Amino acid sequence: MEGFTPWPDEFAQEYRRAGFWLDRTITEVMDESFAKYAVRTALITSGGRELTYGELGNLVTRLALHLVTLGLRKHDRLILQMPNIPEVVITYLAALKAGAIPIMALFAHREAEISYFAELSQARAVAVAAEWRGFDYQEMVSHVQAKNPQLETVLVAGGDPRNGSRSIDAMLEDPIENRVGADELPRPDPSLPAVLLLSGGTTGIPKLIPRTHNDYVYNFLCNADVCKLDEDTISLIAIPQEHNFAVACPGLKGVLSTGGCEVLSDNPGPEAMMELIARYRVTHCVAVPTMIVGMLNHPNRSQYDLSSLEVILTGGSKLSPEIAVRIEPELGCDVQQVLGMAEGPLYWTRRDDPVEVRLHTQGRPQSPGDEFKVVDPFTGEEAPRGEVGELWCRGPHIIRGYYRAPEHNAKAFTEDGFYKSGDLVRLHPSGNIVVEGRIKDCINRGGEKISAEEVENHIVAHPAVINCAYVAMPDPLLGERACVYVIPRPGSTITLQSLNEFLLGERKIAKFKLPERLELVDAFPLTAVGKVNKNALRQTIADKITQERKSA
């Protein structure tokens, strides 16, 4: 497939020999579950709709047959952009069953991003919600189509289709399987891309990440095993379903492969999540750290019965140790941390790890086929054990290149196939890794490099701080200085002086790492996947400084 970088033959053969790659499609694994667990509940939405495995499987097949009848061909790209409604699950699995390659856009994306994905991938179809929270997605798609005439098919859920669009709701009500046989559905090559995920980060438009059937099936089966999912698992997903964490780590497919149930929420707020945990007796909760902080600090938490909750699976950004130690005594459950990327690397703590390892590290590779090293990003040499360096990795579910991005691939991958993650880590004595920040999340204060995450971990230990974000602000003399945004505890008082006295006296950090400006806020701007949007914070403080200088 043009634009796709395959694994070298010797690696592919080894991954098959080791049993990592099964040469099965995602659809084949899902169909096996639909048959095996037919009468069990597979999906519950926050609106109260419930689908059994048998019902979900039938709807997936029905929509897949409609897609093929509409002219969608094997390996055609389909942009999927929906909120957390049942149709996002059905359409995703149906696109795979029709042999198409879904592009997993987030519902927060707008015309610029969707147009870019359509042009880069030459997508022939797009599936959207008609409207969500006041935004008209059909109107947006009409503008995207004007720039991308190959985008012929528009599928719409939850509203009346316009401008030649097709209603997903109507197709799901039409039993086409009584007229068209399942032999019309093609079987893709498991070694070719099944899904195009989006790269993380907050700078620029995301790159497209090609995940094959082989590597993605292994990804979610291995992940389900590491997270100990089974038929009794009830997993809450309140982050966007199209996100890698929510779809396969272990996500939707990990849950369905083991006979469990996914509770899909369209509201990531802490009270909405706790209400669903209590109502459906959720056992596993997928949450980024900001969501965990929201539950821990919610004034009404005691009103909800969270006793069913066994574990919180957390990733997306680093969970600070000061927050991690509160989870078991205050929420009554375990925590599994993961350093995961849509490019494939997955480093999990295990629930039987010692407490120190579970709370203070971000895990080790989930697969015995994974290789990694910690490298000095400036010299390319491996860093001495225990010292900070960039994480480089390769393995049976780690891509070898972004889709149609040869120039970026030359920078992001080594000649022998290691992915340069951009994460600064150090090796813990246990063999796990500890995340120390991002290469791009360092503040360069007159030549002194400061890891933002390191300082944030100290700041959130202050009794008056709920959460913080430590970012660079421009400085004409040093280039950059540090500004910290703080969400204070209600009724608490904190000043820059008192904070720095705490950091020097109690936490004993180096003086050059102290924040030089304090901004008190009620909340942080977030990216589409719930991470603190540090780009927005950096821009806000830069604009504020510029305005202050003009007014001086």
pLDDT digits (tens, 9 = 90+) for 328-353: 999 999 999 999 999 999 999 999 99
Write out the chain's pLDDT in tens, 552 residues.
899 999 999 999 999 999 999 999 999 999 999 999 999 999 999 999 999 999 999 999 999 999 999 999 999 999 999 999 999 999 999 999 999 999 999 888 888 889 999 999 999 999 999 999 999 999 999 999 999 999 999 999 999 999 899 999 999 999 999 999 999 999 999 999 999 999 874 345 689 999 999 999 999 999 999 999 999 999 999 999 999 999 999 999 999 999 999 999 999 999 999 999 999 999 999 998 889 999 999 999 999 999 999 999 999 878 888 899 999 999 999 999 999 999 999 999 999 999 999 999 999 999 999 999 999 887 889 999 999 999 999 999 999 999 999 999 999 999 999 999 999 999 999 999 998 877 878 787 875 668 788 799 899 999 999 999 999 999 877 778 999 999 999 999 999 999 999 999 998 887 888 999 999 999 999 886 678 999 899 999 999 999 999 997
Q: Which CATH number fits domain 446-551: 3.40.50.1820, 1.10.3720.10, 3.30.300.30, 3.40.50.300?
A: 3.30.300.30
pLDDT digits (tens, 9 = 90+) for 487-522: 999 999 999 999 999 999 998 887 888 999 999 999
Q: In whole angstroms, what is the distance from residue 335 CA to residue 338 CA?
A: 10
pTM, whole model, 2 decimals?
A: 0.84
Superfamily the domain 313-438 falls into:
Luciferase; Domain 3 (2.30.38.10)
pLDDT digits (tens, 9 = 90+) for 174-213: 999 999 999 999 999 999 999 999 987 434 568 999 999 9
pLDDT digits (tens, 9 = 90+) for 354-363: 999 999 999 9
Q: In whole angstroms, what is the distance from residue 318 CA to residue 306 CA?
A: 24
Judge contact between 353 and 311, C-beta under 8 A: no
Q: In whole angstroms, what is the distance from residue 182 CA to residue 177 CA?
A: 7
For residue 136, the one-letter residue type is D
Sequence spans of domains, the chain: 56-211, 313-438, 446-551
* Nearest alpha carbon to residue 345 among 392, 311, 390, 406: 392
Both tokens of 515, joined, read 């924040």
Q: In whole angstroms, what is the distance from residue 48 CA to residue 265 CA?
A: 10
Q: Please give the C-alpha separations between residue 385 and each of 374, 388, 425, in angstroms, as whole numbers.
A: 8, 9, 11
Both tokens of 267, joined, read 């509201």
- The residue behind tokens 């659809």 is 27
Both tokens of 550, joined, read 């003009």
Query: Would you give the DSSP letter of residue 383?
Result: P
**CATH of the domain spanning 56-211:** 3.40.50.980
